[in-house]
Amino acid sequence: MSFSSLPQLLKGNGSAALAYGLAALPGRPRAAPVLIFAQGRSGSTVLESLLGSTGHVTARGELLGDGHERTLFPRALLRGHARRTGGRSLLCHVKIYHLTRDRERAGSRTLDPQTFLRGLAEEGWRIIYLTRTDRVRHVLSGLVAEARNNYHKLDDRPVTTAVTVRRATLEAWIAQRRALEQEERAALAGLDYHEVVYERDLEQAAAHQQTIDRVLDFLDLSHRSVSTPFRKVNARPLREIVANYDEFSKWLAEMGLESALKDEPRAALRA
């Protein structure tokens, strides 16, 4: 594909057309843009919401996510969007598979994640790397979201959805999450970034202010109070989340993950 392809591909997409036009201008955005680099179900929406509540950033979500797999020049598109935010920093999040697997499935040219991130860093982007350490809960988060057909929660009503887990699915998803983290860390090698860990920094509402204060320090921005409307979906013991808990717990023990069973109900996120 080439720039000659742009008119047809941008037909009816004024936002992308404007972004590409702004990307061609010399110089950098007035405020350094911010990228959250994370896997799905890692808390990126909560983190974006908390940062957005400070008023320092304009949150734009997944600019390279679903529906944007065939974006011709992803880095230029992000650069152009960053110029539209005026004195605020653009904030968006990108998953490593937005650059690789998703583009390949859409028949588009894949991107090397390290080259992509390094290019953004050279243009002045600040990178926040968000991870999860509890891989069992990470996998269950995705399964429950699919069963609910809803990936977010904005109220305090209890969730009662329970899922039946298959061992093959559990093992495959845990292996995939591990592999993706290895790829992410390889892509980030040598770059300056701030790491946020979901369980330590986002899962409990009491940690939110200190977490965002540390992020704002990294971004050289002043501290401001934060809030989020999002609530935690799976604030329950695993026994209530997994319908076939007895065999599930046996599998975890056989996989050397029995420590995941020593859990208590997780406090729901509160603004």
Right CATH for 16-261 from 3.90.330.10, 3.30.413.10, 3.30.2350.10, 3.40.50.300 = 3.40.50.300
The angle subtended at Cα 25 by Cα 20 and Cα 26, nearest 5°, is 140
What pTM did the predictor assign? 0.89
Tell me the pLDDT tens digit for each residue of 79-123.
Answer: 999 998 878 999 999 999 999 999 999 999 999 999 999 999 999
Q: Which pLDDT value is given to residue 165?
A: 97
Query: Where are the chain's structural domains?
Result: 16-261
Q: Confirm if 198 and 234 have CB atoms less than 8 A apart.
A: no
Please give the structure tokens belonging to residue 257. 């993950």
> In whole angstroms, what is the distance from residue 97 CA to residue 101 CA?
5
State the sign of the Cα–Cα–Cα–Cα dihedral 25, 59, 132, 195: positive
pLDDT in tens, 18-47: 888 887 777 777 899 999 999 999 999 999
Task: Report the pLDDT value the prediction gives residue 271, as an integer from 0 to 100.
Answer: 33
> What is the rounded average pLDDT for all residues in the chain?
89
Helix axes 245-254, 167-188, angle to 10 degrees: 50
